[in-house]
């Protein structure tokens, strides 16, 4: 990756000024470290856009279900159908977003998708019944997931090696901070409780999302897919280029680089999707387990959420370092597997304990769970980038994002039918599932380290096919 004026090392900073290079101590303040981590102009654009838009997303996530229930007047089963249909649309659109990012300008595509997403959020104020809420939710989630896949393609092409994982880690940290801020703002609607308050904050969420787009328009062309056709042009008998035949040859070459012909990547995607169900444990399983099966106070649900957010914000970036190396990515995935399996069993142990002891046990489990989340994300990002064929970076990231969408869609059902219905036995099943998925990811990484990675060469700050 290009480093214009500043090159940062682990022990200090190498400042270049007028051709003179001097060593100075590394910045010690938090502000200086944050500034150094987003020194790259592409990352800085993405960080600012994410910070603005995800505040809006946090506002929206806080009020969505209650807005559907109390303001629109949907029944519980109707809300469930709306959310499930939107998730299903997101599965398909994740793949579509990555596919389009290989064929269109990724930066323009991201801007267009984000604009529609922001307008869709505002459109929620016009939802009057089940049908209108369903249509709006499907459109919003579809465009949101397509934008996420496109953003993955931009990161894959805009950075190289460790910088790619670093970019994902920084963006995830910023996302958590912004959503936490947005959730606090969204709580205002819950306090006021009027339809006008809900609708005003939903409009504010959409406007925040659109404001974030004003930064995305500054992304450079280097994040777009290479425009040069694959292979040599097809010539006629007279030596001129056969445009139609060359186009067909280019399409055939693209198909040969399809992720659907890459069993190793498909296996990685499937294993990551399974492990990604740990989000469902935190969002569905743990709150209901605390409320229904333990003596711990229900306020502990909020404490666990805050603890998770704090660990992600503090440790996602440092624990992601080096995971561009497939061996290290495999190792951290294995550690995440053991931590998540242990967390499931410790969550289960909280049932039947005195309230104070249950609180201690759940906080311990939540801590292990949060670190498992951080490490699994770091390992998954590294492997998803390094095992992808750079010729189809967008499509590969789209497939990987689709896997996560499938895992997210399945997780409520899986968690409910295991931990919440079977108790200790169900938690043990979940522990075995997460352990198998994490160790499977480790095995994929070890195999990749032995057999080699897709060929690539580096030009500037972008990665292209060799």
Q: Are 277 and 404 members of one domain?
A: yes
Q: Which domain holds residue 65?
A: 38-223
Q: Are 422 and 295 members of one domain?
A: yes
Q: Cα(75)–Cα(61) distance, rounded to whole angstroms? A: 18
Q: Left, alpha or beta for 122 (phi > 0: left; psi -120 to 50: alpha)?
A: alpha
User: Of 198, 223, 248, which residue sits at a domain end?
Assistant: 223
CATH no. for residue 149?
1.20.1250.20
Considering the domain boundaries, does residue 30 fall inside one?
Answer: no
Q: Are 167 and 294 members of one domain?
A: no
| pLDDT tens track for 1-12 | 334 433 333 333
Q: Are 195 and 287 members of one domain?
A: no
What pLDDT sits at residue 358? 95
Q: How many CA atoms lie within 13 A of 406 on its CB side?
A: 15
Considering the domain boundaries, does residue 246 fall inside one?
Answer: no
| pLDDT tens track for 82-125 | 888 998 999 999 999 999 998 889 999 999 999 999 999 999 99
User: Of 182, 208, 223, which residue sits at a domain end?
Assistant: 223
User: Of 202, 223, 244, which residue sits at a domain end?
Assistant: 223
Q: Are 354 and 274 members of one domain?
A: yes
pLDDT at 307 over 70: yes
Q: Are 372 and 459 members of one domain?
A: yes
Considering the domain boundaries, does residue 231 fall inside one?
Answer: no
Q: Are 326 and 188 members of one domain?
A: no
Say how many domains are in the chain.
Answer: 2
Considering the domain boundaries, does residue 229 fall inside one?
Answer: no
Considering the domain boundaries, does residue 278 fall inside one?
Answer: yes
Q: Are 261 and 402 members of one domain?
A: yes
Q: Which residues contact 243 (CB under 8 A, 6 or more apart)?
A: none
Considering the domain boundaries, does residue 239 fall inside one?
Answer: no
When pLDDT is cut at 50, 70 and 90, the band that residue 302 belongs to is confident
Q: Are 210 and 338 members of one domain?
A: no
Considering the domain boundaries, does residue 25 fall inside one?
Answer: no
When pLDDT is cut at 50, 70 and 90, the band that residue 392 belongs to is confident
What pLDDT sits at residue 204? 92
Q: Are 167 and 78 members of one domain?
A: yes
Selection from 276, 277, 328, 282 nearest residue 320 by Cα: 328
Q: Are 176 and 274 members of one domain?
A: no
Considering the domain boundaries, does residue 424 fall inside one?
Answer: yes
Q: Are 120 and 263 members of one domain?
A: no
């Amino acid at each position: 990756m290009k480093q214009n004026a500043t090159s940062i090392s682990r022990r200090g900073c190498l400042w270049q000024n007028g051709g003179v290079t001097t060593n100075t101590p590394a910045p010690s303040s938090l502000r200086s470290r944050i500034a150094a981590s987003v020194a790259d102009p592409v990352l800085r654009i993405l960080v600012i856009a994410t910070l603005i838009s995800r505040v809006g997303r946090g506002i929206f996530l806080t009020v969505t279900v209650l807005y559907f229930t109390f303001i629109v007047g949907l029944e519980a089963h109707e809300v469930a159908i709306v959310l499930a249909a939107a998730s299903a649309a997101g599965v398909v659109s994740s793949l579509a977003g990555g596919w389009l990012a290989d064929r269109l300008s990724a930066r323009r595509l991201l801007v267009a998708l984000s604009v529609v997403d922001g307008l869709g959020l505002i459109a929620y104020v016009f939802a009057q019944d089940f049908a209108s809420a369903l249509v709006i939710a499907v459109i919003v989630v579809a465009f949101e997931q397509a934008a996420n896949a496109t953003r993955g393609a931009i990161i894959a092409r805009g950075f190289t090696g460790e910088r790619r994982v670093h970019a994902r880690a920084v963006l995830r940290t910023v996302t958590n901070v912004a959503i936490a801020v947005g959730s606090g703002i969204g709580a205002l609607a819950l306090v006021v409780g009027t339809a006008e308050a809900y609708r005003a904050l939903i409009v504010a969420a959409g406007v925040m999302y659109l404001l974030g787009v004003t930064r995305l328009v500054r992304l450079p062309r280097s994040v777009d897919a290479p425009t040069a056709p694959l292979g040599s042009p097809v010539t006629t008998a007279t030596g001129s280029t056969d445009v139609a035949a060359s186009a067909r040859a280019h399409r055939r070459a693209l198909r040969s680089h399809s992720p659907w012909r890459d069993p190793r990547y498909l296996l990685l995607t499937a294993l990551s999707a399974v492990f990604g169900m740990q989000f469902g444990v935190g969002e569905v399983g743990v709150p209901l387990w605390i409320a229904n099966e333990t003596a711990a106070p229900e306020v502990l649900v909020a404490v666990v959420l805050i603890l998770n957010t704090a660990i992600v914000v503090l440790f996602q970036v440092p624990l992601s370092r080096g995971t561009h190396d497939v061996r290290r990515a495999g190792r951290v995935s294995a550690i995440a597997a053991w931590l998540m399996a242990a967390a499931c069993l410790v969550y289960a142990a909280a049932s039947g304990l005195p309230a104070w002891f249950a609180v201690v046990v759940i906080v311990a489990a939540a801590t292990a769970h949060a670190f498992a989340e951080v490490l699994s994300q770091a390992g998954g990002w590294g492997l998803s980038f390094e095992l992808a064929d750079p010729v189809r970076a967008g499509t590969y990231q789209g497939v990987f994002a689709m896997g996560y969408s499938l895992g997210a869609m399945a997780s409520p059902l899986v968690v409910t039918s295991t931990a919440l219905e079977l108790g200790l036995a169900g938690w043990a099943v979940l522990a075995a599932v997460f352990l198998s998925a994490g160790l499977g990811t480790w095995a994929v990484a070890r195999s990749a380290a032995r057999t080699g990675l897709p060929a690539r060469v580096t030009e500037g700050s972008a990665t292209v096919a060799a």
